[in-house]
Structure 1
C-alpha cells in the first residue's frame, strides 16, 4: 500500500475488530472499505493472547481489503487508555552561537531534549504532542522552521503506557502481517470525530462505552487532559442478562441488541418476547421492561463510578457537557439515563458514513482522521520517539538528526519546581484561566 493518501484505521476492541479504509481526495476522506470481525484474545481492551488477536485482525483486514480492492500493508492502530499517564514536558536547545535559520533537524533535536527523563522500567512512551515552540522568548509558535533564533524551546504533552499493552498490540499487528503507520491513544482519536471544534476547545467529557471497559476522557483546549477507566462494559450487561434469565451468552447478547433499553421507564411492561432458558424445553416469556431493568442496573453502576471520578477533578463543570459513544452506546435510552446520573447535558455520537452508522465505529473512523490531519511538525516530533513506526522511520531517513547539546528548560512554576500538586490539580488547576 504505497499510496500515502490511503489510510487504514485498526480498532482492536474487546468484542470486535474494526477496520476502515479511507482515501484522501482533495482534502476529503472517502471511505472505500470496512471490515469487522469477532475479537479473540482480548480482555478489557488489552491483548492477552497474541496469536488469537492476530488471527482476528487478519480476518477483519482481509474483509476490508476485499471491499476496498487494495492490498493493506500498514495501519493506524489505536491503543486503550488503560493505565495511561499524561504529563507536560519541555525541552530546550541552542540553535547556534549566532542567529541562524531553524531547520527540521532542530525541531527533532528539541523534541529529543523534551524526552530526556527517567521512566519506570514497566512504562513506555507512546506519543509526544507539541503544544508550542518558543524562539528566543517569543512563544505560542506552532511551526518554528524558517525562523531565525539562537535558542529553541518546545513544550508538549507526553503520553506513556504500560510496556505490556504497547508490546502486545505491536506484536499482534506484526503477526497479522502488517506494519504500523501510527499508534494513537484511543480518546485522542475519538475526539477528532465525536466532538465539534467548540466542544474540544471549551471542554467536554467524552465517554467510550466499550465491550470490556468504559473510558471517560476530558478534552479541553483541543488537548487530552485526563482519562479515567471503569473496568466494566457491554460484556458485563450481557453476562447479567445471561445469569438473571438463565440463558446462554449468545442468546443474551441477541436479546440485548433486539429488545434492550437502557431506560426502564421507556420500556413497556406489556411487550414480551420468548427466551430460551437452559434446562427447559419451552421458551419463557419475558417483558421488555424486566430486561431493561437488568441493563439499567449495570449501566447505573458504571455511570455512577465514572461520575464520582470526574467530580473529583471538576471536569463535569466544563461547558461542553458529555458526549457518549462506543458500541454499548447503541442501546436506546442511554442518553436520558446518563443525563439523570451525571446531571449534565448528554448527547450520543454516531458516525453518519454509509455502512458505519453505529457508535462502535467511532474509534476506527477517528484513527484515520487523526492520521490524515497530522501536520509536518507532528510527524517530525513523532519521528524521535524511542520506537518509531514505519512513517516515522521514513521521515527520519529524509532528515537525519545530529546530536545537539541540550539542557532541560527551567520548570514552569505550575509544573514541577515550586510545588508538586496532584495529577488532577496539575491538569485542571488553570482550566478556565
Structure 2
C-alpha cells in the first residue's frame, strides 16, 4: 500500500510569498517543489489587501505546482505571531462506566470542555497543544485512548490570535482558488524544525528576522511559551540606506545584498563602491564601513526592542542560547552582532535542502515539517479546534514516480526572527483532581524544571 502523502506549506511573508511542496513517505520528508513570488497586499506580516495577496498566492502556487508536477488544491498556511495570546487551558470529562475504554470521542469531549471560555469578539482560537492527560489521578499520559477509567482530565496550552489576521488569511487563500487545510502558528513550527531535542527541552530563543517584521520566540519544554513581534525588518534597513545615501529603494536593496554587513567592526580596509545618487549624473563612491554603520544602527534598534520583551520573561537565562533565521540573517555579521548585543551563544539556521539553501525559506519548510510530524492525538485535537479545515484533503497523491530532493538533514547552521508583543499565558480556571496524585520525578527531570518558573 502506498502511504505517501503530499503536503503544501504556504508562508505568507511581507516581502515574499513562498510555497513548498513536500512528499511524506514513512516519516521521511522530501521536498519536490518550491514556488516564490513577490508579496503584494501585505504590511508588517499581515494581509491588508486581500485581492492583491490572493493574486500573489496564486502565482506562487502555480510556480510550485509546475516544479512539483502535482496538482495543488489545498495548503497549510502559517499564521504570524502578531497579537498572539498564549494561555493554559484545562478540561474534565466523566467517562462513566468504570470498565469502558476511553475512545477518541471521549478525548474530543474533554478537549471541548477545555475550550469553553469567553473570548473577546476580536479573537479566535488557532490551536491547542496537549501538555498531558490524566486518567483517574494517573498523570503524564500522552494518549489516553484504549485506557480504562471513569474520569478524564486534559491540560494544554491554548493559542488565540486576532480574528482579522485569521479571516484575511482564509479569505486570501480561498480567493486564490485553494482550500485551506489548516493553520500553523509560525514560531511554533519554526521551533520544531530548527531546534534539536535538547534546545527545545531546556529552552531556546528563536529570532526570525524577516523583511517586514522581526519575531522573537521562546521554546521551552518543547512548547512555544512566549512570542514578541517588532514591526521592523529588512525593509527598514533598505529604507535607511535609501534615505542616508540619497538613492532609490531598488538600488539601496542591491547595495545591501552585495556590500552590506550588519557588524561595522568586521569591515576592514577602505573598500568602496559606486552609488547612483538621485539628481546627479555621476555616481558617488561610498565606503563599505559607512554602509555597515547604517545597517548596524537599524539592526541594533530591532534587537533592543526584542530584547526588552525577552528580558521580562528571563529568557536570556535559558541554557539553549539563541538561534537566528529569516532573510535578514543572511546578511554577513548578523550572528556576530546578535551575540554582542545579547551576550549569549548564537547560531544561524539555513535549510540544507536543494533549492532552499537560504534562511528566508526556513519558515515555509517548517510548516510542511510541522504537519508531517503531527501525531494522531495532535491531529485529533486539531479536528476539535477547527473541524472544517482539519478534514481538508491537502493535495492529490502523486500519480507518477517523483524525483525527490534530498531529505531534511540535521541542521548545523541556523537564522533569525520578527515583531509586536504577544502575551504570555494567563492562568486558567483550575480543575483540581478528586484525589491527589503525584509520581516521583526522575532525577534528570529536576535540572530542566529549574527553568520552568520563567513561564509557568
Structure 1 counterpart of 2:438: none
Please state how far the C-alpha of 1:162 moved relative to its aligned partner: 0.5
Distance 1:432 1:118, change over 3 A: closer
Matched, 1:124 2:147: no
> SS of the counterpart of 2:268?
coil
Distance 1:312 1:431, change over 3 A: closer
Deviations 1:366-425 (A, max 9, x none): 00010000111011111111x434333689xxxxxxxxxxxx86169xxxxxxxxxxxxx
How far residue 313 of structure 1 moved from its aligned partner, in angstroms, is 1.1
CA contact (8 A) 1:205 1:322 kept: yes
SS at match of 2:453: coil
Cα distance change of structure 1 residues 176 and 150 upon mapping to structure 2, 3 Å threshold: same
Contact 2:54 2:175 (8 Å CA) reproduced:
yes
C-alpha distance 394-276 of structure 1, shift in aligned 2 (>3 A): closer
Q: Corresponding residue for 2:70?
A: 70
Cα gap change, 1:259/1:348 in structure 2, threshold over 3 Å: closer, same or farther? same
Q: CA deviation at 1:27?
A: 1.9
Q: Structure 2 CA distance, aligned partners of 1:26 and 1:145?
A: 23
Unpaired runs of 5+ residues, structure 1, are 396-407, 413-427
Is 1:161 aligned to 2:122, yes or no? no
* Structure 2 CA distance for aligned equivalents of residues 391 and 432 of structure 1: 30
1:430 is matched with which residue? 453
Counterpart of 1:101 in 2: which secondary structure?
A: coil
> Does structure 2 conserve the Cα–Cα contact (< 8 Å) formed by 1:269 and 1:287?
no
Distance 1:61 1:294 in 2: 36
**Is 2:212 aligned against 1:212?**
yes
2:431 equivalent to 1:410: yes
Shift of 1:25: 2.1
Alignment of 1:342-381 (within 5 A): 342-381=342-381
Q: Distance in 2 between matches of 1:69 and 1:55?
A: 21
1:369-408 equivalent positions in 2, closer than 5 A: 369-385=369-385, 387-392=386-391
Are residues 320 and 70 of structure 1, via their aligned partners in 2, closer, same or farther at CA, if it must alter by over 3 Å?
A: same
- 1:160-194 deviation line (CA, Å, top 9, x unaligned): 00100000011101111111112111101111111
Counterpart CA distance in 2 for 1:178 and 1:81 is: 23
In the TM superposition, 1:99-110 aligns within 5 A as 99-110=99-110
Q: TM-score, normalised by structure 1?
A: 0.90
Aligned equivalent of 1:112 = 112
Using the alignment, how far apart are the partners of 1:128 and 1:393 within structure 2? 18
Deviation of 1:309 after TM superposition, in Å, equals 1.7
Check whether the contact 1:383–1:393 (CA below 8 A) recurs between aligned residues. no
Shift of 1:431: 4.5
User: What corresponds to 1:300 in structure 2?
Assistant: 300
Distance 1:42 1:223 in 2: 28
The answer to whether the 8 Å contact 2:99/2:148 transfers is yes
Match of 1:240 in 2: 240
Change (3 A) 1:123 1:182: same
Structure 2 match to 1:46:
46
Secondary structure at 1:148 match in 2: coil
Q: Give the conservation status (yes or no) of the 8 Å contact 2:101–2:145.
A: yes
2:23: which partner in 1?
Answer: 23
In 2: Cα distance, 1:389 partner to 1:188 partner:
22
Question: Is the contact between residue 4 and residue 26 of structure 2 (CA under 8 Å) also seen in structure 1?
Answer: no
1:98 is matched with which residue? 98
Deviation of the 1:265 alpha carbon: 1.1
Which residue number corresponds to residue 331 of structure 1?
331
Within 5 Å, which residues of 2 pair with 1:194-233?
194-233=194-233
Q: Is the partner of 1:217 in helix, strand or coil?
A: strand
C-alpha displacement of 1:266: 1.2
Normalising by the residue count of structure 2, what TM-score does the alignment of the two structures yield? 0.86
Q: CA RMSD in A?
A: 1.9
Q: Secondary structure at the match of 1:430?
A: helix
Give 1:286's aligned residue. Answer: 286
SS of equivalent to 2:250: helix
For structure 2, the 5+ residue unaligned runs are 395-428, 434-450
Q: Which residue of 2 is the match for residue 140 of structure 1?
A: 140
Contact kept? 2:51, 2:172, Cα under 8 Å: yes
Give me the whole-angstrom Cα distance separating, in 2, the residues matched to 1:45 and 1:172: 14
Residues paired across the two proteins, number? 405
Deviates more, 1:90-99 or 1:208-217: 90-99
- Name the counterpart of 1:13: 13
